[in-house]
Amino acid sequence: MPLLRIEGVAKSFGNFRAVDQLSLDIRAGEFFALLGPSGCGKTTLLRMLAGFETADEGRILLGGSDIAQVLPHERPVNMMFQNYALFPHLSVRDNIAFGLRRAGMARRDIATRVAEMVALVKLEGLEKRKPDQLSGGQRQRVALARSLARRPQVLLLDEPLAALDKKLRESTQGELMELQRRLGMTFIIVTHDQEEAMTMAGRIGVMDAGRLVQVATPRNLYEAPASRWIAEFVGDINLFNGQIAARENGRLTVSTAEAGALAVSELWPPVTKEMVSVGIRPEKVKLSRRAPASDAGASQTINRLEGVVTDVNYLGGVTSYRVKLETGAVVRSSMANTARLDVDAYLAGQRVVAWFTADDCLVLEQ
Amino acid sequence: MAHSATRLTRFNMTSLALGLAFLYLPIVILVIYSFNASRLVTVWGGWSLRWYHEFFSDRAMLDAAWMSLSVAAVSATLATLLGTLAAVGLARGERFRGRALFSGMLYSPLVMPEVISGLSLLLLFVALNAERGFWTVTIAHTTLTMCFVTVVVQSRLATLDRSLEEAAMDLGCDPVRAFLLVTLPLIVPAIVAGWMLAFTLSLDDVVIASFTTGPGSATLPIRIYSEVRLGVKPEINAICTLVIALIAVIIVVASFASKLSSARGESAAPL
């Protein structure tokens, strides 16, 4: 039995179906991310878990009992709000102690727990400050400490890092993961930032238009997206539309207008439609000056596309190239800058061969 | 010219002085003439506290002042209570049937000519056969000033983040306690401002009070008005000066109090 089971939950606002017949299981101790574009229903789902919205249909089982109709203050669940929602009239200490006082904890135990929480989020010495005397990062920590203080069975985090700058966001991601491991608590985070979801979460649920379209580990989500929409939403991808021309031994040949015939390894489950898209991630497209020699002994089949480099963007760790094929289609390639000196760099206008293996291709239904 | 915006130019100085003079010169003259020894209002006869003496021995005038202050205090308190509840209902309540009608009717005293409100209240009290006096004026002033409280409190509530109440509920408060522990402390300055507004509105109302008051229970403005019709006595100046002083003290205390509450380092949370 999972810690949290969401069964056929639906929620509409007027005619707008925010969450549509959604089911999901979350295990105890898991770091789960809900990822999706804005308006996909991920925040509504989180608010239903917190109790701020009531589900029109379905059940939400926490530890086996249905909490779908339980009021927010009676749920063993706490939420960290996107804008932190710190009480401006209370000090850091009183903000953290707020939930403990409501739980009727003894004064001495409250003091101990608050001190523990303050140490956990490294806010020592700031206990008497008011929220408006804190920096954005400090406020984020107070909000975290406040939501953790009651030791909820599940902690819900609504875009917890959206208001922080990039450097702080990255270090806070690490701290959140470390904290979650140490406390062994179940975290459910809502985010629209796929990098954030992939960095922190063990599993990611991708939502689109109120439905859960795929639940997978970060790696599977990226390398084996369940649909063309997910492939485009998560990361960059080159897509070529075409038709399956041949199918043998798990190897497909897809004839495309833009990139000719492409050899593609078939995924499981196999595609059932004839019209497909072949997807290839930019970092899996290599460039070379001459066509790489076909290695007859290897099982790999290589696709080669000739073209001219049109754009070179040096980004530090990687350089991304745009290669224009003779058909006019553009292939994007990104190559790691593994050496400091640019002996391998290509220049705009240069003729190159963009190549990738059949195993690196994704075949997706259109 | 980089810092010209922060400096007072001659033009700015002049217009500021003229503006202040326009607003405060009549009051200054009134205050000065309240210390006039002469029996004639417009003739200066030297400094004296004579008219203050006169006022403090004028039983009828003192009664009227006491009546006005107690009507203002009671009606402002009632209006603040009801007005705050209305504001909370409008800003936070579920969308109930007739919400638009309720908010429209709530604000009608803002635009309704006072003569009409006063007359309709008079007709109501007569129909109810209510004896006119302290309570009828108080009720009339409550209905007049409540909408001002609602406007002030509602605008404060509108700027307040709803997720604060949600956070309170998330941390174990039922909706009532979330309101009392989080929302209420944050809207207290608006409630205090609303009370003061209601108090001063009640204090200077003549029209509605004259419709709803009865014999022997005149408020200060009515009393002054009826005296002035027989010719302005310098005593009136003295009374007005005292009222101005009272209001000035209230404003100064209120602004100190609000500064103090925001500067207070740490709050010992109740419970």
- Is the confidence metric ipTM above 0.85 for this complex? no
- Name the least confident of A204-208, A238-242, B15-19, B258-262: B258-262
Best of A46, A47, A96, A98 to disrupt the B interface (most B CBs within 10 Å) is A98
- Phi/psi region, residue A135 (left: phi>0; alpha: psi -120 to 50; beta: rest), is beta
In the CATH hierarchy, which fold is given to the domain comprising B58-268? MetI-like fold (1.10.3720)
Residues 6+ positions from A126 with CB-CB distance below 8 Å: A92, A118, A134, A138
Q: Of A73, A90, A93, which has the smallest distance from its Cβ to B173's Cβ?
A: A73
- B167–A81 C-beta distance less than 8 A: yes
Taking the CA of residue A132 and the nearest CA in chain B, the distance in Å comes to: 11
Q: Which of A54, A78, A84, A87 to mutate to test the interface with B (most CBs of B within 10 A)?
A: A87
Chain B stretch 144-163, residues whose beta carbon is closer than 8 A to a beta carbon of chain A: 161, 163
**B50's tokens:** 């004579």
**pLDDT for position B229:** 84
**Alpha carbon B157 to chain centroid distance?**
20
Please tell me if residue A87 touches chain B, with a CB cutoff of 8 Å. yes
pLDDT at residue A313 in the model: 93
Q: Residue A82's closest chain B neighbor by CA?
A: B163
Judged by a CB distance cut-off of 8 A, whether residue A73 touches chain B is yes
* Distance from C-alpha of B30 to C-alpha of B39, rounded to nearest angstrom: 15
**From the CA atom positions of chain A, what is the Rg in Å?**
25
User: In the structure, what pLDDT confidence band is assigned to residue B1 with cuts at 50, 70 and 90?
Assistant: very low
pLDDT at B268 over 50: no
- Mean pLDDT for all residues in chain A: 91
Q: Three-state SS for A335?
A: strand
Closest residue of B to A99, CA-based? B171
Nearest residue on chain A to B182, judged by CA atoms?
A87
How far is the C-alpha of B85 from the C-alpha of B193, rounded, in Å?
A: 15
Compare all CA atoms of chain A with the CA of B261 and give the residue at the minimum distance: A89
B172–A150 CB contact, under 8 Å: yes
Q: Does the beta-carbon distance from A78 to B182 stay under 8 Å?
A: no
The reply to whether B6 touches chain A by the CB within 8 Å rule is: no
Q: A90 CB near a chain B CB, below 8 Å?
A: yes
| Predicted local distance difference test score (pLDDT) of residue A148 | 93
pLDDT in tens, A190-227: 999 999 999 999 999 999 999 999 999 999 999 999 99
User: What is the SS3 assignment for B205?
Assistant: coil
- Asked if residue A239 has pLDDT above 50, the reply is yes
Asked whether the predicted pLDDT for residue B25 surpasses 60, the reply is: yes
Q: B113-138 pLDDT, tens per residue?
A: 989 999 999 999 999 988 888 999 99
Do A102 and B177 make contact, defined as CB atoms within 8 angstroms?
Answer: yes
Any B CB within 8 A of A99 CB: yes
CB contact under 8 A, A102 and B173: yes
What band does A294 get if pLDDT is binned at 50, 70 and 90?
A: low
Question: How many angstroms separate the CA of residue B85 from the nearest CA in chain A?
Answer: 22
pLDDT score of B269: 36
* Sequence spans of domains, chain B: 58-268
**Which one-letter amino acid corresponds to residue A147?**
S
Say whether residue B266 is in contact with chain A using an 8 A CB cutoff: yes
DSSP H helices in chain A:
42-50, 92-102, 107-120, 136-148, 166-183, 194-200, 218-223, 228-233
d(CA B256, CA A364): 69
Q: Do B171 and A87 touch (CB under 8 A)?
A: no
B174, B265, B269 ranked by CB distance to A73: nearest = B174
Cβ distance of A97 and B166 shorter than 8 Å: no
What pLDDT score was predicted for residue A297? Answer: 47
CB contact under 8 A, A50 and B271: no
**What's the average model confidence in pLDDT over B6-33?**
88
pLDDT tops 60 at residue B70 = yes
**Could you read off the pLDDT of A137-154 as tens digits, one per residue?**
999 999 999 999 999 999
- As a whole number, mean pLDDT of residues B60-65 equals 89
Given B163, B166, B185, which is nearest A89 (Cβ)?
B185
Q: Which of B171, B181, B182, B187 to mutate to test the interface with A (most CBs of A within 10 A)?
A: B171
Cα separation of A333 and A323, whole Å? Answer: 8
